[in-house]
Amino acid sequence: MTFARLRDFTSARVALGRAGDSLPTRELLEFQLAHARARDAVHAKLDTQALALDLTPVAGECLFARSAAPDRPTYLRRPDLGRRLNDDSRRLLAERKGQFDAAFVVADGLSAIAVERHAAPMIESVLNLLDPLSWKLAPVVIIEQGRVAIGDEVAECLGSSLSVVFIGERPGLSSPDSLGIYLTWSPRPGLTDADRNCISNIRAEGLSYVAAAQRLLFLMTEARYRKLSGVGLKEDARTLTQP
């Protein structure tokens, strides 16, 4: 198989050709466009109202919250601030505390574009599989300037046993709109990525909504049954169902 034929199977930049000692003009311009799209995705502001309009018919009530990062530039420079709620949001969520099985959290992360495109249909696909009589879900929380770990504090404030964070992933040069899902059992501030399970690359050219929803339902069910998540929870049905 020639390098040129590999381009039929991947969006990676292979077999670009050459013009003298450099790239052909077309390939150079396409690279610059991809870089610009990735940069725009990182800096884009999440339209929370439009997202809520998409989510409400699918998932019901939405709550709005913000991290401790006051703006996008601060958020990008201070990842720690994106991992915790600001005081007003913490009070708001604490007022809605209950006994929930799971809390769905939608955060802009590093690609608001991914969240705006994929969060609502992704959550709809999950809810189509969930048994509403078996799962008591908290209101969906939409967060601006949020990192993955902020879902731990959100779920703790709401009184949820499980947090499920839908978040825009770091853009690549071929994937500025990739959505990720992070699941954490018994969420609370101070946990690490080793305590979570991740489903990644949800987008038109990547993992489909249906496939991601099936994986998520499996992980949610096993996390609740085994009361754990992270490295101890493997995505293998035969292993997990053994006594």
Q: Counting beta carbons within 10 angstroms of the beta carbon of residue 220, is it exposed (0 to 12), middle (13 to 18) or buried (19 or more)?
A: buried
pLDDT of 70 reads 94
Which SS3 state, helix, strand or coil, does residue 17 take? coil
Alpha carbon dihedral 153, 157, 163, 167, in 10-degree steps, equals: -60
Write down the pTM of the prediction.
0.88
- From the list 86, 87, 63, 67, the residue with the least C-alpha distance to 75 is 67
pLDDT of 101 reads 97
Q: How far apart are CA 218 and CA 211, in angstroms?
A: 11
- The string of pLDDT tens digits covering residues 48-94 is 999 999 999 999 999 999 999 999 999 999 999 999 999 999 999 99
In this structure, are residues 226 and 218 in contact, taking their beta carbons and an 8 Å threshold? Answer: no
**Of the CATH numbers 3.40.50.11240, 3.30.565.10, 1.10.3210.10, 3.90.180.10, which one belongs to the domain with range 48-240?**
3.40.50.11240
Give the pLDDT band of residue 24 (cuts 50, 70, 90): confident
Q: How far apart are CA 193 and CA 144, in angstroms?
A: 21
Amino acid at 216: L
- The string of pLDDT tens digits covering residues 149-161 is 999 999 999 999 9
- From the list 69, 73, 95, the residue with the least C-alpha distance to 82 is 69
